[in-house]
Structures are given as C-alpha cells and as structure tokens.
Structure 1
Amino acid sequence: MCALSPSPQAGGRRGEVFLDLVNRHEHGGQRADAVRNRARVLDAATRLVARHGATNLTMDAVAAEASVGKGTVFRHFGDRTGLLLALLDRAEQQLQARFLSGPPPLGPDADPSARLRAFGVAVLRHEQEHRDLYLAAELDVQRRFLAPPYRVRHTHVAMLVRSLDPRADAELLSHALLGYLDTALTHHLLQQRELELKRLEAGWIELVTRLCP
C-alpha cells in the first residue's frame, strides 16, 4: 500500500493507461526523399552530439555532416532548439519502447512493484547515457511538466502506483517520485556532489520501497 492519503480522483480501471507517443512530427503526406533527409539529419546530429556534446551542436555542422543544405535542416526542425527536441524525442522513444513493451522487470510481464523499481533505475541510466542532450534540450519550468516526455513518464508511473494501491493519490505521488529523477537534480548529484550512479539507483529503490512496500 502506498503511503499517501487516498484520493477521490484516483479513478479508472486498474492497470489502465493512456500514453501519448513522444514523437509529434507529422510524416503523413511528406515525400519519401523528405522523410529520408530528416532521418539523415537526425543521424548526423546524433553522431555530432556523441563526438562533441550537445552544447556544441550547430546547424551548420549538422548540415555538413548530413551532406544536405542548411536550409534543409531549418526546414525540418525550425531552429537549433527544434533539432535538439527532435533528438530528445528519439532518445525518449527508445526508453518508452523498453518500459511499454520490453522484457521484465521493466516491461509489462513483470508485477507493478518490480516495474516501478526498474523504471527509476532505467531512467537514471538512460539519462546518464544521454546527459548532455537532456540538459541542452531541457525546457523552461512553464513547459517542462506539459511536455510529452514528462507526461508519458507520469502516466506510466501513475498507472503502476494505482495498480499497487487503488486508493492512493497516484497523480500526486507520481509527480513526487519523478522529482527524484529530475535531470538537473541528478546532474547536480552526479557531477557536483560526485555521488555514484549506483547510490542514486539504490536511493530510488529505497524510496519506492518506503512509499509502496
């Protein structure tokens, strides 16, 4: 039972979850060459981020790496921020595939308690692997909690919490749990406080165990 007061709004069928996919780009109606060019640009940007970091990513460098005109890059992504968000979309979709349809303990064949523990560990490791990109693409506070990546994570965690205890205020408790996984916070703990990733993972498991024993 999760240690939070029951909520009169914690309705819905147990285990039911509605997830919006992160990728909001509309490909319908685009020419095949336009779709290929977009994928080529994203692949090129991914390589550059791996080599030089997201903070050093420029539209000129991406165009040169992808062997396309700079206008093509701007046409597909609007500006540098749009390109970074598209890269973030791609990284988030990789993570989503694992917790929505991957193997246990993260995927749907495991029990909710095991999935919730595995979810936090997976997010910590995933964001550590893509840390530079997540920091560079981080939205301002007004938009952060409305962005599709956060909403998908929140919906998933709320579903797991509700499965563990239908009486819990799953919506509020899920925000609290996701606060532990905040990109800026984990970056501070890992880089400035020099904590080990294993300690953060253990802390997540302890937090979940205490809230939802």
Structure 2
Amino acid sequence: MMLRVLVADDQDLFRGGFSMILDAQPDITVIGEAADGAQAVRAAIELRPDVVLMDIRMPNVDGVEATRRICESTAARVLVLTMFDLDEYVYAALRAGACGFLLKDVHRDELVRAVRVVAAGEALLAPTVTRRLIAGLARSGHPVPRLRARLDELTVRERETLGQVARGLSNAEIASELVVSEHTVKTHVSNLLAKLGLRDRAQAVVFAYEAGLAVPGAHSQE
C-alpha cells in the first residue's frame, strides 16, 4: 500500500529536502506541501494523508496547534520534526496528538523508517527526546491520583504491557519479555488504549509516567 504524506515546514530547503527523500521511496508518495500551520490543516482536511510531517515553529498557526486541529479533524498521524528538542515542545506536541517526534538532523534512512513506523500505528520518539520527556515527567512531582485510579480499569496483563510500552519496547520485545505471542501483545495494547481513551502509544507513555506506573530510572535504557 502506498503511504500518502503531507510535508509542512516554513523553510523551503527543509520542505523540499524531506519531500525529495520520501518521494524517492517505492512505497511513499508526497501528496502535498504546506508552508505554515494554517496551510497544513487545510491540506490535511482536503487531501487526507496517512502521515503529516510537521514542523513546530511556523508562522500563522504553529505546528502544535496545527497538529491538534489535524488530529481532531482527520485520521492522519502526525510526525513532528524540529530543530529544538526542548521539553515544552515534546509535551505540547504529544498532548496535541503527535505520534512521533524527531529532530531535523535525523538521517534520511531514519526519517523514512519513522514515517513507516508512524503510519503502521506505532509511536516514535528520538532517544534525546525520550530522555527529556521522562526527565520532565520525573520533575512534575507525584503521580496524578485520578490517572493512577484509572489503572484499575486494566487487567494485570494490560498493566504489565503498558509498563513495557513506557520503556519504549516494540511489540516483539514486549512479547519476549512477557513470554506471550506478538498477537497477544497487540491485543493488550489495543485494549488498554481503548480503556484509557488514549490515541496511541506516545500518549500511553505519558500516561504511564504521570499515573506512576512507570518510574524514571527504573530501567537502564531510560
């Protein structure tokens, strides 16, 4: 299946470069470009892309607000690209509905992989972004009581799965950790997202830390 991508960036050089890299792939086609957030929202609603490659700092409507509007109005999955890995952008982008967050110095192969991963329903965060996100959540204080209470809605296996998702593990890695099939993991992930009202794995990571299920520093890869 051909993946349809919309590229939104106010800088011609970046926008053109990303489009060229992605359009060169046999399974990806760039169906449109946008030079600001307002254009990105209009194009997403009109063209219905599978993935929107979204810059954060753009005129008129910034990338965070554009992401929020696109996620509310379409089924497109938003992959944020920025030169800035500051905490506030990570939080804002993820809470607006972004499924992935990468820095603009990403290697072209990583960019292509990221688009495919996000299109497949996975979440993707650059390692430096993940560390900042977790550190920020650690500084936010104690778990939010109302979120912690919602963990009771999950089965034991779903809670275990959520904890592994928060570690950034893939379905295959979670299956190995819990000694179950990958299909079973997919089912658990789907169920816990539905029960908690979460859009995707990126939001599940934030939820797990804010609810106190996952603890920063508990695993070496964090």
TM superposition score normalised by structure 1:
0.29
TM-score, structure 2 normalization = 0.28
Which structure dedicates a bigger proportion of its chain to strand?
2
